Amino acid sequence: MRAGKLYLVILLTTVACFGDDTERPQAVLTQEPAWTQLFRSESVTLRCQVQGDYTGWRFTWYKVGRKVPIYQDYYSRIDGGRYTISSVTRHHSGKYTCKGERSGNPSYSKTSNALTLTVSVDPPKPALSQEPAGEIFEGDPVTLSCVLEGDWKYLFYKDWKGAPVYEKYSSSGTVAVYTISAAVSHSGEYRCITIRGSRYSQYSSAVNIQVSELFSTPTLTVKPGASVWEGEDVSLQCGAQIYKQGTQLQYRYSKDNEDLTGAGSQYSIPAAGLRDTGSYQCEVEAAGTGVKKRSESVWLSIRERPQAVLTQEPAWTQLYETESVTLRCQVQGDYKEWRFTWYKDGRNDPVTQHYYSIIDGKYTISSATRDHSGEYTCKGERSSNPSYSKTSDALTLSVSADKPKFVLTQEPAGEIFEGDSVTLSCDGGSDGWRYLWFKDSEDTPVLQTAGRSITDDSYTITAAAVSDQGQYWCRGQRGDEPLSSQLSDKVILNITGEFINPSECSK
């Protein structure tokens, strides 16, 4: 009797606990990967799990509409709570459920909610669109959108060539965008395709992008030419044609790849020097777009002008009033037919002929005055290039109103005995001076005789006699119409006769 009551209690407890389906643990069916649309030959895994702490479950798989469970076959494999279809076909489409079973109570779970697999035979075709539509100019942002439902890797191709121009893996969502800042090189035919696992979609329809230039590639021109003489003004002009109305251009210039200061469509080099020789480029940028274009390089050659050389004849460092002097201007090199212009003391106005003559590159002052003192330069000019030379270095003329006065010295100094040699020197002039010597009179110069020689600035008596004693002067002369210096201070030459011993007289 007790055994029967115990059985009844267990039976009522079992019915109370598991007689109602809502109280059984729930089977949950999930899909990996969770793609809503499958395509032929893709792989998918259905996973069945029972909620709660009960263990030891065995799983049974069902396809809605069939009375018998699913078993593994050529296309599928069942491994515990996993049902894997390695290569889906159209026949795998449908709704699936699963249920757990075990040896203890609860002996089975609730059946899972249905999960739908949709398998398409044909690969999908993404949709490709362009924003904005219509005409595109350089620098405009352009977005290509590739749309396909599901999680795909998106590849964008241009003109069917080579590697994709852009790749993006979308872990969520159904669209990938490829945005470019348009350049002319972006013109072409674009398509997109998607990949999921080893499965490729179809290519999208083509989208043609045609990018128009905002402005042309600039051209750099040099005026008056790419080869000029130093000192000439040079102008670099950067020209570009604008194709989109309202485009504002900004200009930059460089020499030997180093930026130059200055802006605008023209860059000026006033009075170009040899340092300005080099390779020049200009760059044009459309304001606010970042679109830049550079011209081809242009080589600018600055040729050195021939040098004017100014010389003086005679080349005296000091001139005196009434003397004549000629300045001669010559231009180095093989260029001929020069005309010459003369300048004094840095003035811009050239010297004109007045009380002197300018003939064939010679500027002659026939009778110098102190007003002729100063710095002189000259420059050559001609009718063809080079049209003028470099200005000569300055040459200084110094004209003095006071005639020079030389210093007369005696060697050896002091008393001279008969038979001794003595030299008088006229010191103080080296610029073309020749010397006259005077004895006891300032009127008539002494002449060179035997034993008395005149050499350069000296007068030498090789064997002095008592008759040689007296007062001596010297004076300098130079030029064709001689300029005479002042007379030097006098030197008194004393000659002592030979001493005779009286005892010698008796012999």
The reply to whether 24 and 111 lie within a common domain is: yes
The reply to whether 80 and 131 lie within a common domain is: no
The reply to whether 204 and 225 lie within a common domain is: no
> How many domains does the chain contain in total?
5
Q: Where are the alpha helices (DSSP H) in 148-300?
A: none
CA distance 365 to 349: 19
- Domain of 247, CATH number, reads 2.60.40.10
425 bridge partner residues: 409, 458
Q: Which helix H or strand E contains 279, and what residues bound it?
A: strand 278-286
CA distance 473 to 439: 7
The reply to whether 116 and 45 lie within a common domain is: yes
Q: Which of 109, 117, 118 minimizes the C-alpha distance to 46?
A: 117
Q: What is the pLDDT along the chain (507 residues), one digit of tens a residue?
A: 444 444 433 334 444 444 444 589 999 999 998 888 888 888 999 999 999 999 999 999 999 988 899 998 888 999 989 999 999 999 999 999 999 999 999 999 999 999 999 998 888 899 999 999 988 999 999 999 999 988 889 999 999 888 999 998 876 668 999 999 999 999 999 999 999 887 889 999 999 999 999 999 999 999 999 999 999 999 999 999 999 999 999 999 999 999 998 779 999 999 999 999 999 999 999 999 999 999 999 999 999 999 999 999 999 989 999 999 999 999 999 999 999 999 999 999 998 765 456 677 899 999 999 999 999 999 999 999 899 999 999 999 999 999 999 999 999 998 899 999 999 999 876 788 999 999 999 889 999 999 999 998 999 999 999 999 999 999 999 988 889 999 999 999 999 986 545 454 444
CA distance 275 to 234: 13
- Which residues are within 8 A (CB) of 162 and not within 5 positions of it... i.e. 6 or more apart? none
Question: Quick one: pLDDT at residue 19?
Answer: 47
Question: Quick one: pLDDT at residue 11?
Answer: 39
Question: DSSP secondary-structure letter at 174?
Answer: S
Q: What sign for the dihedral angle of Cα 128, 131, 136, 140?
A: negative
Q: Count how many residues are written for the chain.
A: 507
Q: Examine the fold and report which residue of 72, 95, 120 is the final residue of a domain before the chain moves on.
A: 120
Going from the C-alpha of 371 to that of each of 126, 311, 341, 399, the distances in angstroms are 99, 20, 19, 8
Q: How far is CA 391 from the centre of its chain?
A: 34
Q: Is residue 481 part of a domain?
A: yes
Question: Quick one: pLDDT at residue 353?
Answer: 66
Report the half-sphere exposure of 458 (CA within 13 A, side-chain side). 11
As a whole number of Å, the CA-based R_g of the chain is 58
CA distance 474 to 424: 9
Task: Copy the structure tokens of residue 87.
Answer: 């290569």
Question: Quick one: pLDDT at residue 15?
Answer: 43
Q: Is residue 327 part of a domain?
A: yes
The reply to whether 341 and 385 lie within a common domain is: yes
Q: Is residue 228 part of a domain?
A: yes
Q: Is residue 95 part of a domain?
A: yes
The reply to whether 369 and 459 lie within a common domain is: no
CA distance 320 to 180: 86
The reply to whether 368 and 439 lie within a common domain is: no
CA distance 461 to 338: 55
The reply to whether 382 and 335 lie within a common domain is: yes
The reply to whether 22 and 107 lie within a common domain is: yes
The reply to whether 255 and 181 lie within a common domain is: no
The reply to whether 142 and 172 lie within a common domain is: yes
Parallel, antiparallel, or unpaired: how do β-strands 136-137 and 211-212 relate?
parallel
Domain that holds residue 189: 127-212
Q: Is residue 507 part of a domain?
A: no
Q: What sign for the dihedral angle of Cα 397, 403, 407, 408?
A: positive
Is residue 437 a contact partner of residue 421, using CB atoms and an 8 Å limit? Answer: no
CA distance 230 to 339: 19
Q: Is residue 503 part of a domain?
A: no
- Which residues are within 8 A (CB) of 403 and not within 5 positions of it... i.e. 6 or more apart? 320, 483, 484, 485, 486
Q: Examine the fold and report which residue of 212, 240, 259 is the final residue of a domain before the chain moves on.
A: 212
Q: Is residue 448 part of a domain?
A: yes
CA distance 16 to 25: 15
The reply to whether 23 and 84 lie within a common domain is: yes
Q: Is residue 92 part of a domain?
A: yes
Q: Examine the fold and report which residue of 366, 400, 434 is the final residue of a domain before the chain moves on.
A: 400
